[in-house]
Chains A and B, each alone.
Chain A
Amino acid sequence: MPVIRKLMLPVILALLAYAFWLSSDIKQIAAGVAIFLFGIMALEDGFRRFSGGFLQRFLHHSTNRMWKALNFGIITTTLMQSSSLVSVLVISFLSAGLIQLAAGIGIIFGANLGTTTGIWLVAAFGLKVNLSAYAMPILAFGIVMILQKNPTWKGVGWVLAGVGFLFLGIHYMKEGFDAFSGSIELSAYAISGFRGMLLFILLGIVATVILQSSDAMLVLTITALAAQQITYENALALTIGANMGTTVTAILASLGANIAGKRLAGAHLIFNLITGLIAIVFIQQFLIAVEWISDTMGLAGDNYALRIAIFHSLFNLVGILLMLPFVNMLIKLLGWLLREPETAFKKPKFLHDAALESPLAALEVVYKESERLYNLATRVIAHGIGWQKRVMLSSDDLDVLIENRQMPPSEDIDEAYETRIKHVYSAIVQFVIRARERITGTYGENLMVYSNAGRDLVTAIKDVKHLQKNLMHFIHSDNKVMRDAYNHLRKLIAMVIRRIQQAREMDDPTEAMLILDHALLQIEESTMSTANRIEPLIRNHSITAEMATSLMKDTEYAHHACRSLISMAKALFTGRDSTSLQLDQNLELNKEEMTAILQKDNQESEHRDTIK
């Protein structure tokens, strides 16, 4: 496959060069196709510039029902005249989990019908009107707007330039075929019958794969038909081929996509293959229907271009009507055919290149992946310090659990980090760097907040790793003082993770922040009490000086791990954006303020004891 892909480009270039040498008319047709494709790219770029906010919100709310998704696909593709842009956006939203596969399938079905409207416009007006007369002013206006600094004007400029180039491309293709018809009679090579139809379907598929655009292929077909270079039957077959060939673009795009994107590309392929097969099998019935519609519309007998447009819309519509009742079955089939591969290393589940296309999708996938990283990390931390994650997160009394001494065999944190954390965290960092090349402003800053949350998690794991060896040694030690001290550290980390879980479940962000700030106070309390306790313990020979240094260092590691976990939780689980988090940092209590609160507490409790 890679060899074929490598060879494809030189072969195409060589064939083009040979064709240009043969005929100057082919040069004009090829230039027309190139300008048309450039127009599609400009149009895509223009719409992409608007995809920062409005489009995403609109997409999110307009696809929660199948009929809405279907209409959304039809309308957006009609407006944008690019089913590939719609497909890319749908894959990005699907991978971000903003829409379900069923909605994605609905949009793709709708896009298949929406894309036929372009052909209607070309067939109805494009071949009769001198499009180049409109293309020039549109291009001029478009380029002036592209040169503006304002991003909205820039976007409008690219859309206008796209439309201008599309018109210009159609004009060149038309001119090329008109001149071509004077020199060579392609229709002489036309093959009739079923064999001819299959051959032209294959030709349609191959040409669409090379052009990477069914729209360009269909416009090429209509202009060739208008210049009588191909027969009506051949044009019908090319239309079916173009419809089938367009799925290859989606399949290529999904190669780097996650499993959801691959399933969507699979749904696209199945839909287009089935509609193509229906069109082949029932070609006679379709032709009768096309003739009936043409007569009802009062089309002239020789207006084959519009008949092609009717045929294209009709078999896509029939395909949708036939496939809609089986969407759930299709989803099950795709789930069975394309299963998530199991690997020894944990890999990112939500991050996907397609999500880079939209700021909202990028933010959502990074959030979901970070949340997953937290879940993986808590297991590593829990097992690293002799807790079972389930037990650690339960509501059972931690002192009782420690007393019972039920603990799983400790896990090697280095190995667990390599297999469960490293790949996922690296993928988040890399994704955020790539996303921030395109995404700026609040979305960009919030991406950074999530990335920093991942860094805090990894810091906590590293701290626990440093602490693990001594902890696992001393909690089994005969020295009760050391055993209690290290169990206290285990208890502290478990308490912090429980507090994070509590904050995570809170609807009120202020309450969630308060829970985490209170946990910070408890860590400070632990720091103070350890510092006060160690010296007397050495003095009365309860522990050796070596034990004391180990305990002091490990207490530091444990406290640092706890603070990192809380910093991560504030960023990830309190629903705060980057601006709010910056303000929260300004309000966060420093060491002196926490000490003052703790001293005040101690004085109050002493006062209460005296009264009693």
Chain B
Amino acid sequence: MKLKKLLDRITELTTAERDIQLEQRKLLKTTLKQLRDKCRELEQNINSEGDVGLRKELEEKLNIMTTQRSKGLALLKELRDSPKAS
């Protein structure tokens, strides 16, 4: 009986952890999608921007988002490969 209780508690804990991880993945996917859309928008704006200063600012912003997106994709891969996620 005690062993069964212990097993139940372990299952409960691992399920909760998996739920949190799934939630994190979902949030990360949404964020990555937002970043991708923003990158596209910035690319368009850079092409149509004539002012050198503003163009530099937009390019910097694009670089920030691209780096953040790469980091996000790596994190997503890490979460997917993690044994608890399956």
Residues of A in contact with B (beta carbons under 8 Å apart)? 510-511, 514, 517-518, 521, 579-580, 583, 586-589, 593, 596-597, 600-601, 604-605
Contacts and interface: CB of A to CB of B under 8 A. Distances in A.
14 contacts: A511-B38, A517-B68, A518-B60, A518-B64, A521-B64, A579-B24, A580-B27, A580-B31, A586-B72, A587-B75, A588-B68, A597-B67, A601-B60, A601-B63
Given A518-B57, A583-B24, A597 B31 contact: no
B82 to A, nearest CB: 14
Nearest to B65: A514
Interface string B21-48: 0011001100100110010000000000
Contacts of A586: 71-72, 75
A120 B15 CA distance: 50
B59 A587 contact: no
Contact of A600 (B63, B68, B72): B63
B24 A597 contact: no
Nearest to B35: A510
Q: Which residue among A511, A518, A605 has the maximum number of chain B CB atoms within 10 Å of its CB? A: A518
Given A587-B71, A593-B67, A601 B38 contact: no
Contacts of A518: 57, 60-61, 64
Interface residues of B, number: 21
A605 B38 CA distance: 23
Q: Which residue among A517, A580, A587, A600 has the maximum number of chain B CB atoms within 10 Å of its CB? A: A587
A587 B61 contact: no
A563 to B, nearest CB: 15
Contact of A601 (B56, B68, B71): B56
B60 to A, nearest CB: 6
A596 B71 CA distance: 14
What are the 3 tightest A-B residue pairs by CB atom distance, in nearest-first order? A597-B63, A587-B68, A510-B34
Contact of A583 (B31, B61, B65): B31
A597 B61 CA distance: 10
A596 B68 CA distance: 13
Given A589-B68, A601-B56, 9 more contacts: A518-B60, A518-B61, A521-B60, A579-B24, A583-B28, A586-B75, A587-B31, A589-B67, A597-B64
Nearest to A608: B52
B34 A605 contact: no
Contacts of A601: 56, 59-60, 63
A604 B85 CA distance: 42
Contacts of A580: 27, 31
B80 to A, nearest CB: 15
A604 B58 CA distance: 14
